[in-house]
Amino acid sequence: MMLHVYNEIAASFTARVFLGLLFFFQGYDAVFRVKVKGVIEAFEYPAGLKHLGFLLVPAAYYTSYVELVGGLFLTAGLCRDYALYLLGTDILIASVAFGIVRPMWDMKYVFPRLALLLFLLVIPSEWDVISLDHYLLHIK
């Protein structure tokens, strides 16, 4: 049997589930452990210095819940493209927030997420067959 014919499927599944779990656990931490209030407090002073405090509360709620729900959906392969779009905006918002706090911030946590997200956006959707989207859309 030639297993290499399944490499695209394995790559898509592994990248999607890995990225989904990264976002899910980050969102879980923000929503249930640190709480959104803690996220807001962490960025309150730097955002105020840049006169962007009015964006802080909606951004904190958006990023926290999109990471939690989007990560869960991505892990399951449910509404994959929508989850990727929302998580892409999440990465952009988080990058702006970290840039405000520290202009020369360490991208070691963000860049792998961005690379996986871009990979998942550009690969053919036909590769992503181990997902709820594929199962639900191909029921006969």
pTM for the whole thing?
0.89
**Residue 55, token pair as written in the block:** 């964006």
**Phi, psi dihedral angles at 90 (to 5 degrees):** -60, -45
pLDDT beyond 90 at 105: no
Residue 108 three-state SS: coil
Q: Are 110 and 98 in contact (CB under 8 A)?
A: yes
pLDDT of residue 38: 93
Q: Residue 116 pLDDT > 70, yes or no?
A: yes
Structure-token pair, residue 42: 């962490």
- Give the model's pLDDT for residue 127: 93
Chain-wide mean pLDDT for the chain? 90
pLDDT tens readout for residues 68-100:
999 999 999 999 999 999 999 999 998 888 887
Digit-coded pLDDT (tens) for 23-38 = 999 999 999 999 999 9
Burial class for 122, CB neighbours closer than 10 Å (0-12, 13-18, 19+): exposed
